[in-house]
Structure 1
Amino acid sequence: MRRLLFAVVLAGLPALPALAEGVRVAAPSGYCIDREAGTGLGLVLIGRCEGVTDRPPAVLTATVGGPGSGIDVAGRGQELAAYFQSEAGRRALSASGNPRHVQLLEAVGRGNAFLIRLRDSGGRAAPESWRAVLTLNGRLVTLTASGTGKTPLGRENGKSLISAFVDAMEGANRRKPRLEE
């Protein structure tokens, strides 16, 4: 059941409009949400802001799972690493759906997020990218950071960018304490 949940969420199929239903999407500094690029699948596209030159060109995406889809990501690092190394996990990560196209390069826990660096030879986008899986407000959230066809991110820039994306999302979704009346 958990494997199916990961595969479906990472494929973006049951995603809800990510700016509604309790999860706010926030871009890292220097990157802006493309409000005109609606996909209808709850996939939010983010790119480098116009005029910004001190950040690497990149394509970022965010998808949000349904209510109650969140899991304890921080406590399940080994299980997540094993899943994403499996055929089903690589299929979920693959742009083409073909697990043979995906090579898992790195998987590491970072606070409440699980980061994955991968190479996908089956898509049209830059072959190397980073993913982050985390839970925000009870929903499983998947973030992606990849370079452009002309400008790959590289390991350090990619890890820094996906980490900044996680920080921005966590900051935008912190529960504010209610004031006592």
Structure 2
Amino acid sequence: MLKPFSRLAALLLCIITSACVPGDALSPPKAVPVLGGAAQIGLPRGYCIDKGASRDTGKTAVVFLGRCASNAKTQPALISIAFGDAGSAGVMTASGATLAAFFQSSDGRRTLSRNGRAKDVRVISAVGRENLLLLHLYDAPVGEYWRAVTAVRGRLLTISTIGSRQLPLAPAEGRKLLDATVASMQAANRSAK
């Protein structure tokens, strides 16, 4: 049985090389409901959901996106989108500076770490604006990547964009993809109360 990180590494390699093609490459939807319709996954252009790797319990959801087709001009990358429980967005009432300071602390870096070790995570930058925190991170098991922390429909939402050791995602490309995914998620959930 694969350990959680090994499963993630296998999934990442599969999605990046598009050995598995998640979704319909010809006409992927722009948004897909999750959490029994309580929220939507807004799909950035060229990316589809890997249904086999994603999990939706009805209370929380973790969804993985990869390129819709291997020959696409779309940047090879893994996008992970995670929704917390209903009401979990309360943490976003803290200021961007407070959240940025937390994630630079030992407890915050441990929270961000793939293996739970604060020493493996370095916060390259942390920028808060309105209801959004953007983190540029280095995590020893996976390398450099971007993560957004925000709130949608009363739920904490995190989005990560990452490449692989074989096909790394340049920091500028990772940020561009993160911005596109955040915009897609906001558009798909615009009617949120």
Decide: shared fold, TM above 0.5. yes
* Alignment map for 1:1-181 (pairs within 5 Å): 19-21=34-36, 22-39=38-55, 42-71=61-90, 73=92, 76-121=95-140, 123=141, 125=142, 127-175=143-191
Higher relative contact order (CA 8 A, sep 6+): 1
Alpha-carbon shift at residue 51 of structure 1 (Å): 4.2
Q: Does structure 2 conserve the Cα–Cα contact (< 8 Å) formed by 1:26 and 1:168?
A: yes
Question: 1:67-123 CA distances to partner (integer Å, 9 max, x unpaired)?
Answer: 1111374861100110000011100110010000000001113553211010011x2
Alpha-carbon shift at residue 163 of structure 1 (Å): 0.7
Residues 52 and 106 of structure 1, relative CA distance in 2, 3 Å threshold: farther
Counterpart of 2:35 in 1: which secondary structure?
Answer: coil
One-letter amino acid of the structure 2 residue matched with residue 19 of structure 1:
V
CA distance in 2, matches of 1:58, 1:74: 31
One-letter amino acid of the structure 1 residue matched with residue 113 of structure 2:
S
Question: 1:116-173 CA distances to partner (integer Å, 9 max, x unpaired)?
Answer: 010011x2x3x11111001001111011110122111111101111111100101110
CA distance in 2, matches of 1:86, 1:38: 30
Instruction: Give the share of equivalent positions with the same residue, in percent.
Output: 37
Count of aligned pairs between the two proteins: 157
Normalized per residue, which structure has more strand? Answer: 2
CA RMSD of superposed structures (Å): 2.2
Query: Which runs of 5 or more structure 2 residues have no equivalent in the other structure?
Result: 1-32
CA distance in 1, matches of 2:192, 2:108: 35
Residues 132 and 74 of structure 1, relative CA distance in 2, 3 Å threshold: farther
CA distance in 1, matches of 2:125, 2:39: 27
Q: Does structure 2 conserve the Cα–Cα contact (< 8 Å) formed by 1:23 and 1:137?
A: yes
- The match for 1:15 is none
Q: Does structure 1 conserve the Cα–Cα contact (< 8 Å) formed by 2:100 and 2:128?
A: no
Q: Does structure 1 conserve the Cα–Cα contact (< 8 Å) formed by 2:34 and 2:56?
A: no
Counterpart of 2:72 in 1: which secondary structure?
Answer: coil
Residues 162 and 110 of structure 1, relative CA distance in 2, 3 Å threshold: farther
CA distance in 2, matches of 1:142, 1:176: 17
CA distance in 2, matches of 1:51, 1:75: 41
Question: 1:27-54 CA distances to partner (integer Å, 9 max, x unpaired)?
Answer: 2111111112234662111111114532
